[in-house]
Structure 1
Amino acid sequence: MPLPFSSPPNSLCILRLSAVGDICHTLPVVRTLQAAWPQTRLIWIIGKTESSLVSDIPGIEFVVFDKSQGWRAYPSVKTALKGRRFDALLHMQMSLRSSLINRLVNTDIRLGFDRARAKDLQWLVNNHHIPSHGRQHVMDSLFGFAEALGITERQVTWDIPISQQDKDTVDALIPQHRPLLVISPCSSMSYRNWNANGYAAVGDYAVAHYGMVVVLSGGPSAMEQQMGAQIEHHMQQKPLNLIGKTNLKQLLHLLSKAAVLLSPDSGPAHMATAVRTPVIGLYACTNPERARPYFSAASTVDKYHDAVQKKYGKPASELPWGIRIRDAGTMDTINASDVTEKLDVIMERLGE
């Protein structure tokens, strides 16, 4: 069956393991497949952590890859796929792990990225490739997979289920009648993190000007715990520190209750997008045109283009797409006033 398909396929295998933010970018593509071809069986190979966010979505079978098992994780996937044949594999991740998993999928059509974007053996293990596009947001690039199959009408929806128990757990922790500013201060890469003084200044501003409750969120890592403690120390008004106290489903509900999320380039920024919460994204090390929260262009603080010009002496448009700045201090070029200006605009809009 050649691409694009002239009729709905019987089954598709989706290969996107991580990370949480990119799972959020991938899900609208999967929702698009479901809407266009409701009878097509969808199997999604996904990472263990990421599966806890989406694995209860109806109509999708999830095969979990647990990278903590090392090489033993691959036979586990092979066993789960044994005896199955797919009309196509959508290889939507560039990593050595995913390229190895690719070979475990029984299919004649292996669809991957175009050569310019393919990394980690992606080009070699696939025999079909999405069209080349130079400068796209990550989600737009992933929609290239649906388009290569023959689907052009997008469904930019997420609809991630949250249990009543998880909702109740969060609702018991947060005030119900004051607007919430959720601060998720840490990215998985420390060079993308802003500073505690800045977060604290914005938090105090939100309390003073809008009567907001500041909620700190994040995982249990030492880096996140330390950042939370530092923000608490510097704030004049005590925040509600929930760092390390929520799972991904509970975090998603928390974000759905927030008036605004403040975050660097990280998974929670894209989780907030999934529940249509405005995001003030902090971008100096990564290109917001590629990786910002999808619906929050106007509220993104963009110091990336200044950082690129300073480091390379030329604009980002003349450099490879997605190039990162990892120099210490780059995120500190963001001032608290840059953020409060964005907060003012959002709160004025919410008050209309």
Structure 2
Amino acid sequence: MGKIPAKKICVIRTSALGDVVHAMALMGALRHGYPDAEITWVVQPLAYEMVKHQGAADHYVLFDRKGGRKHWQALRKRFKGEVYDVVLMLQVSIKASAISTLITGRIKLGFDMARSRECQWLFSNRRIPKKTPGHVQDQFFEFADYLGVTDYPVAWNFGFTEGEVAERSAFFDGLGAPAVTFVVASSSPDKDWPADRYARAVDHVARKGLVPVLTGGPSPREKALADEISRLSQEKPVVALKNGIRDLLVVLSGSTVVVSPDTGPLHMAVALNVPTVSLFGYSNPRRCGPYRRFQELLIDRFTESGEENEARRYFKTGRMEYISVSDVTEKIDLALERYAFL
């Protein structure tokens, strides 16, 4: 089958940050396959800040998931009179499906029945073929494959501005030594690594003559964890919790090594090609682990010894505790040995 013709394409993937990172690679594939098409992306404001300089989309429509009736009326008005050749429904949530009802598309492409949670199949008129689930990134690429887009580069482009490049240089030059950056928390405590173990890994990094940096967002929980890690550390880390997602990208992009649980900044760091020690116990790394890169730095305490782990979406509570300090420090040392001079 040849490539499906399309002059106007709309992509619905509003959140979460890690999934939006994966969507960025698909957007690059779409731009490769349809260089002259008009591409619109429906995305939440926080994620928009991350992707706005990528250059793959022509238009961004911001979706506020907490928006009331006026916001939905504005969305309806925005899409009134627009007709898209293809609408890609990358998000299986009832709100994302509701957005699709406001958009006129000749082809509304969603997931196959088995993967269409929250009744997404009711809102699409075509579906990607049934397939054993793989990594989320590969599942997104199935949409490009369905359209007949081939030979696309697997790439992410966050598009740093001159100001951001200068900000990165100033921050890291001021540290006086290479930085190992620890992402202190995820969206769920079940995915987080204990603060006292972070503190011991921080001390390990400092003893090697490197600068430990704690990063994440501005939430009270992240601030409390950063404070606790700092209190428990003998060598005090640099705390760089960021209000803006672009500022967080700046910190991640200038790090020598990143250590992170399963959260958006992990996927940002991997996409930025920064050596990343990935901590997995609660979520399935076959489905949402680091994509293709730095597999030797993955710590997998989700998969039992001898278990045939398919890339299914399910969770195991209490398993982040199985990740020891030595597990992490050994991976940090391996990352420094293999990648420090990249």
TM-score, normalised via structure 1 length: 0.91
Alpha-carbon distance in structure 1 between the residues aligned to 2:5 and 2:250: 34
Which amino acid is 1:315 matched to? E
Match of 1:334 in 2: 323
> 2:13·2:43 contact (CA, 8 Å) conserved in 1?
yes
The alpha-carbon distance between structure 1 residues 339 and 147, as it changes in their structure 2 partners (threshold 3 A), is same
Alpha-carbon distance in structure 2 between the residues aligned to 1:8 and 1:212: 52
Superposition pairs of residues 191-270 of structure 1, within 5 angstroms: 191-209=190-208, 211-243=209-241, 245-270=242-267
Match of 2:312 in 1: 321
Please state whether the residue corresponding to 1:305 is helix, strand or coil. coil
> 1:8·1:40 contact (CA, 8 Å) conserved in 2?
no
- 1:83 to partner: Cα distance: 1.4
Alpha-carbon distance in structure 1 between the residues aligned to 2:175 and 2:270: 21
- 1:73 to partner: Cα distance: 2.6
Q: Confirm whether residue 297 of structure 1 aligns to residue 295 of structure 2.
A: yes
Provide structure 1 residue ranges, at least 5 long, that are not aligned to the other structure: none
- 1:351 to partner: Cα distance: 4.7
Q: How many residues align?
A: 338
The alpha-carbon distance between structure 1 residues 153 and 176, as it changes in their structure 2 partners (threshold 3 A), is farther
Superposition pairs of residues 185-196 of structure 1, within 5 angstroms: 185-196=184-195
Match of 1:103 in 2: 101
Match of 2:150 in 1: 152
- 1:51 to partner: Cα distance: 0.7
Alpha-carbon distance in structure 1 between the residues aligned to 2:131 and 2:234: 48
- 1:176 to partner: Cα distance: 5.7
Match of 1:346 in 2: 335
Alpha-carbon distance in structure 1 between the residues aligned to 2:200 and 2:26: 38
Alpha-carbon distance in structure 2 between the residues aligned to 1:199 and 1:45: 37
For 1:37-90, what per-residue CA distance to the aligned partner results, in whole angstroms no more than 9, with x for missing partners? 110110000011111111233351100001232343322222221211000100
Match of 2:281 in 1: 284
Superposition pairs of residues 56-75 of structure 1, within 5 angstroms: 56-60=53-57, 61-75=59-73
Provide structure 2 residue ranges, at least 5 long, that are not aligned to the other structure: none
Alpha-carbon distance in structure 2 between the residues aligned to 1:145 and 1:131: 10
Match of 2:78 in 1: 80
Alpha-carbon distance in structure 2 between the residues aligned to 1:189 and 1:5: 43
Match of 1:94 in 2: 92
Which amino acid is 1:261 matched to? V
The alpha-carbon distance between structure 1 residues 59 and 289, as it changes in their structure 2 partners (threshold 3 A), is closer
- 1:297 to partner: Cα distance: 1.6
Please state whether the residue corresponding to 2:106 is helix, strand or coil. coil
For 1:22-45, what per-residue CA distance to the aligned partner results, in whole angstroms no more than 9, with x for missing partners? 000011111011112110110000
Please state whether the residue corresponding to 2:67 is helix, strand or coil. helix
> 1:67·1:73 contact (CA, 8 Å) conserved in 2?
no
> 1:265·1:281 contact (CA, 8 Å) conserved in 2?
yes
Superposition pairs of residues 1-40 of structure 1, within 5 angstroms: 6=3, 8-40=5-37
- 1:177 to partner: Cα distance: 4.7
- 1:152 to partner: Cα distance: 2.5
- 1:9 to partner: Cα distance: 1.1
The alpha-carbon distance between structure 1 residues 176 and 234, as it changes in their structure 2 partners (threshold 3 A), is closer
> 2:218·2:243 contact (CA, 8 Å) conserved in 1?
no
The alpha-carbon distance between structure 1 residues 195 and 335, as it changes in their structure 2 partners (threshold 3 A), is same
Among all aligned residue pairs of Structure 1 and Structure 2, give the percentage whose two residues are the same amino acid: 31
